[in-house]
Structure 1
Amino acid sequence: MSATAPAAPATVQPVIVTPDLGRLKAFYGGLVGAEEFTRVPEEGPVFFIGLRIDGSELGLVADESVPTGTPTRILLSIAVEDVDALLDRVAPLGGKVLGPADDMPWGQRVAHVQDPDGNAVNLTQPV
């Protein structure tokens, strides 16, 4: 079986389903400077918020019934300038630092954190 290349370039936008859009928007904005670039609908109760982190996008979708803190099967990896400088921001923004940053053999300094909903996030920088 051979795979064929797609006709047009594809992009991937991670989307987090959350019971509290405002809390996650504030976490990612305060931690890595994520800025809102779109919301649906523009007026009234919001269902979707699109955040931009440099050239990347992260979506947030509202669902009050979704449980938080359950084990996740996805990990967001966010490249930052200084991993260690951001760790003190995590807890005040409602997240959790899972341990100190470590230098990895593949040439990155990595800190494992969780956002306020318990989603796994790696903050990374080149060593």
Structure 2
Amino acid sequence: MNLVSIRIITNDVSKLLEFYEQITQLKGIRYTEDFAELQTENATLAIGSTRTLQFFGGAEVAIAAQNHTAIIEFITDDVDRIYQEQSDFLASFLVQQPETMPWGNRSLLFRDPDGNLVNFFTPVSMDAISRFESKI
């Protein structure tokens, strides 16, 4: 088994896709008005409108902009460089400037326009580097 995708449900696919394209510098794929993906080497961030919930059992299955438990994480080779390049754009979304965590990752934490937590991190300790060496 392999995790391939995380899907965010939103009221505004365009706004969320543009945000993730800006912060990742990746081009998303817009399949329909209601569905887009941002594909990375290891996984895909899918973005679906609330209208797509009808295919999964109805509108009550998920509520847009209500995430209070998950953090969407992207590994990067230099989180400090990304912070410098994106600091103006991220200013109103910022939760925490780059900081080294006890488990050896240097993390930049912010929220997307729907309030979902996003963590860009770079492994910096020897243990963290060895855990993620195949992912960078």
Task: Give the shorter-chain TM-score range.
Answer: 0.7 to 0.9
Higher helix share: 2
Query: Is 1:61 the equivalent of 2:48?
Result: yes
5 Å-filtered alignment, 1:1-127, equals 9-37=1-29, 39-40=31-32, 46-63=33-50, 66-68=63-65, 70-88=66-84, 89=86, 92=89, 96-127=93-124
Q: Secondary structure at the match of 1:59?
A: strand
The 8 Å contact of residues 97 and 113 in structure 1, kept in 2 or not, is answered as yes
Supply the AA of the counterpart residue of 2:68.
T
Cα deviation, 1:32-72, whole Å, max 9, x if unaligned, reads: 123224514xxxxx12112112332110001279553x452
Gaps of 5+ in 2: 52-58, 125-136
Contact in 1 for aligned 2:9/2:64 (Cα 8 Å): no
The alpha-carbon distance between structure 1 residues 101 and 94, as it changes in their structure 2 partners (threshold 3 A), is closer
Which residue type is aligned with residue 12 of structure 1?
V
Distance in 2 of aligned mates of 1:60 and 1:126: 27
Q: Aligned-residue CA RMSD in angstroms?
A: 2.5
> Whole-Å Cα distance in 2 between the matches of residues 109 and 59 of structure 1?
25
Residue identity over aligned pairs, in percent, reads 25
TM-score using structure 1 length: 0.74
Aligned residues: 113
